[in-house]
């Protein structure tokens, strides 16, 4: 039903949304009647290495990011969203691993404290927000001193019946890598990477209080996929991190949402399984509880577990270069597991919404499903906190 949406009708439909959400899914998204301006301040801090042995700075990475976002309906049948992000990163990052006494792996950190900025803009346009399904077109650009990424995407939702919705989409990203101090450290001077993604999902409204969604995503990366800043110990010396020029990943996800009337709350359960052509497999399980409280407060405690199995060419150090084609000691490709707990709080006050949150993420090699493999001395733990302010324009 396409028509002019008068202010009176918008008011009626908006008021009816909570009572008959199915009929007013269009207004339930909020995109149709309200514009939103939001600001987020986010701080991310990786734990220092101590008491683990380390060569170089024990301090690790920290990121402070700020994001502005604007979302607004355009006419009665479209919505525009745009965001700008600025990040300041500083600290040392893991460089390579050496063998200490008793063959114990010791992490070597990058010598200089890195200080870098990243700026990113993104925009998306959704056409058709009603019950006949919609199409979202998106584009983004991100720039750092040594890294430029451009991405475009398209996503379409197709209602198959009153209870079943099919989602399909795809995206493409083109990234340019121009490492700093390339000549000084004999790094590759220029690299590029292309990533294509396809996904499909089915969302099934089981009954009035539960929704189940399942989906498959396929990613394919080509080009320079190594980390130009990392080295690998091979025998008595070091070489540059060297990975295959292609990586294909397949991920399967399941999401379940259940709304309870007593207490008035909802449970979100998410599971994701991924595996790729490098031999990396991962499982993520997340549970979140959305609890509305009196006076328009909302509390969201969440728990997440992540487990990853290492890439075939991961090792903290290699003794025999002839036995391998590819080499990495990047902790992000090792075997580890992590538990994360977070607590987010929101408070609506008229047209303002305040939010804040805190996350503690703890990683360890022996948290991995099936136990640890090769040592990962740089496995990360971090603390993250954010505050945000939203303004809703009716």
Partner 1 sequence: MNSAHERRLIHRFDFNAMGCPCALQLEADAEVAARAAAAAQAEVDRLDRKYSHYRDDSLVAQIGASADAGESIVVDTETADLLDFSATLHAQSGGRFDITSGALTRLWDLKNGRIPDAAAIERARARCGWDRVEWKRPHLRLGVKGMRLDLGGVVKEYAADRAAQVCRDVGIVHGIVDLGGDLTVVGAHPDGSPWLAGIKSPRDTSRAFAQIELHAGGLATSGDYERAVIVDGRRYSHIVDPASGIPVESFSSVSVVADSCLVAGAASTLGMLLGLRAGHDWLLGLGLPFLCIDADGNASGTLAGARDEGRGTRDE
Which residues make up the interface to partner 1 (CB under 8 A)? Answer: 1, 3-6, 8-9, 11-16, 18-20, 22-24, 26, 131, 161-163, 205, 207-208, 261, 264
Nearer to partner 1, 7 or 370 (CB): 7
10 Å CB burial of residue 338 (0-12, 13-18, 19+) is: buried
Q: How far is the CB of 80 from partner 1 (least distance, A)?
A: 22
- Say if CB 24 and CB 10 are below 8 A apart: no
- Say if CB 15 and CB 28 are below 8 A apart: no
Nearer to partner 1, 51 or 294 (CB): 294
Nearer to partner 1, 12 or 198 (CB): 12
Taking each continuous run of H as one helix and of E as one strand, the counts in the chain are: 2, 21
Which neighbouring-strand residues pair with 228? none
- Distance separating alpha carbons of residues 221 and 312, to the nearest angstrom: 17
- Segments in the chain forming alpha helices (H): 7-16, 25-28
Nearer to partner 1, 11 or 341 (CB): 11
Closest CA to 24 of 36, 12, 7: 12
- Distance separating alpha carbons of residues 173 and 151, to the nearest angstrom: 4
Q: How far is the CB of 158 from partner 1 (least distance, A)?
A: 16
Nearer to partner 1, 145 or 208 (CB): 208
Nearer to partner 1, 205 or 274 (CB): 205
Q: How far is the CB of 4 from partner 1 (least distance, A)?
A: 5
Q: Parallel, antiparallel, or unpaired for β 78-91 and 62-74? A: antiparallel
Q: Residue 208, SS3?
A: coil
Q: How far is the CB of 355 from partner 1 (least distance, A)?
A: 21
Q: How far is the CB of 255 from partner 1 (least distance, A)?
A: 19
Q: How far is the CB of 266 from partner 1 (least distance, A)?
A: 12
Closest CA to 107 of 39, 164, 41, 60: 60
Nearer to partner 1, 9 or 188 (CB): 9
- Dihedrals phi, psi of 230, to nearest 5 degrees: -105, 145
Q: How far is the CB of 6 from partner 1 (least distance, A)?
A: 5
């Amino acid at each position: 039903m396409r028509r002019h949406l008068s202010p009176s009708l918008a008011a009626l439909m908006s008021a009816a949304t909570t009572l008959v959400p199915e009929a007013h899914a269009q207004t339930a998204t909020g995109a149709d009647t309200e514009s939103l301006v939001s600001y987020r301040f986010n701080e991310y801090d990786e734990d220092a290495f101590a008491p683990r042995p380390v060569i170089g700075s024990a301090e690790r990475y920290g990121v402070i990011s700020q994001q502005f976002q604007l979302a607004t309906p355009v006419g009665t049948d479209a919505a525009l969203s745009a965001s700008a992000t600025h990040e300041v990163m500083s600290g040392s990052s893991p460089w390579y691993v050496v063998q200490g006494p008793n063959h114990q792996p010791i992490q070597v950190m990058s010598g200089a404290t890195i200080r870098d900025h990243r700026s990113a803009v993104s925009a998306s346009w959704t056409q058709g927000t009603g019950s006949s399904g919609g199409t979202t077109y998106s584009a983004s650009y991100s720039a750092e001193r040594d890294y430029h990424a451009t991405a475009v995407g398209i996503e379409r939702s197709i209602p198959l019946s009153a209870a079943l919705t099919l989602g399909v989409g795809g995206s493409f990203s083109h990234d340019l890598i121009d490492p700093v101090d390339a000549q000084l450290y004999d790094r590759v001077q220029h690299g590029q990477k292309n990533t294509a993604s396809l996904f499909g999902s089915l969302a099934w409204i089981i009954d009035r209080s539960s929704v189940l969604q399942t989906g498959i995503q396929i990613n394919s990366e080509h080009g320079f996929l190594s980390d130009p800043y990392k080295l690998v110990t091979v025998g008595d010396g070091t070489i540059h991190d060297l990975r295959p020029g292609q990586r294909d990943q397949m991920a399967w996800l399941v999401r379940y949402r259940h709304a309870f009337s007593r207490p008035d709350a909802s449970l979100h359960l998410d599971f994701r399984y991924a595996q790729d052509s490098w031999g990396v497999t991962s499982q993520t399980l997340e549970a979140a509880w959305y609890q509305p409280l009196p006076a328009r407060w909302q509390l969201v405690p969440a728990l997440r577990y992540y487990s990853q199995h290492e890439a075939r060419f991961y090792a903290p150090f290699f003794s025999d270069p002839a036995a391998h084609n590819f080499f990495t000691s990047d902790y992000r490709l090792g075997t580890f597991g992590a538990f994360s707990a977070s607590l987010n709080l929101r408070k609506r006050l008229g047209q303002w919404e305040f939010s804040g949150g805190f996350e503690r993420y703890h990683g360890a090699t022996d948290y991995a499903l099936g136990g640890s493999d090769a040592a990962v001395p740089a496995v990360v733990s971090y603390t993250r906190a954010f505050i945000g302010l939203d303004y809703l324009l009716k």
